[in-house]
Amino acid sequence: MLDLSITTRLEGEDEPIRSTPNMGTVLRMELHFKLDSGIEALQRMKLEHLCWLAWECRRADGLTVPPFDKFRSQLADMNFETDNDRPLADEGPPTS
């Protein structure tokens, strides 16, 4: 399970919407952007990837969303949160 959430608010929306990506959403991001690893992309998140992931989460949650370019231009606020105590991928053992 991924411990992350994306909160977005578009122009004209009174309240922000909180979305929680799942592995399927991350896989779609990986395929859409032709990334080597969706998990690695989350660890080195580009703003465009974060915006697309928020858009895709809204779609996956059954919300009506404008096409991505319009969503991106209407984005008024976005916040990305993760639980730093539980990394997205386990780190390897320490080396000595």
Q: Which domain holds residue 23?
A: 4-82
Encode the chain (96 residues) as per-residue pLDDT tens digits: 567 889 999 999 999 999 988 888 888 888 888 888 767 766 777 888 889 999 999 999 999 999 999 999 999 999 988 765 544 444 445 555
What is the DSSP annotation of 14-34?
A: SS-EEE---HHHHHHHHHHTT
Whether 45 maps to a domain, the answer reads: yes
Domain count, the chain: 1
Per-residue buried b or exposed e for 4-30, using 16+ beta carbons within 10 Å of the residue's own CB: bbbebbbeeeeeebebebeeebbebbb
Residue 95 falls inside a structural domain: no
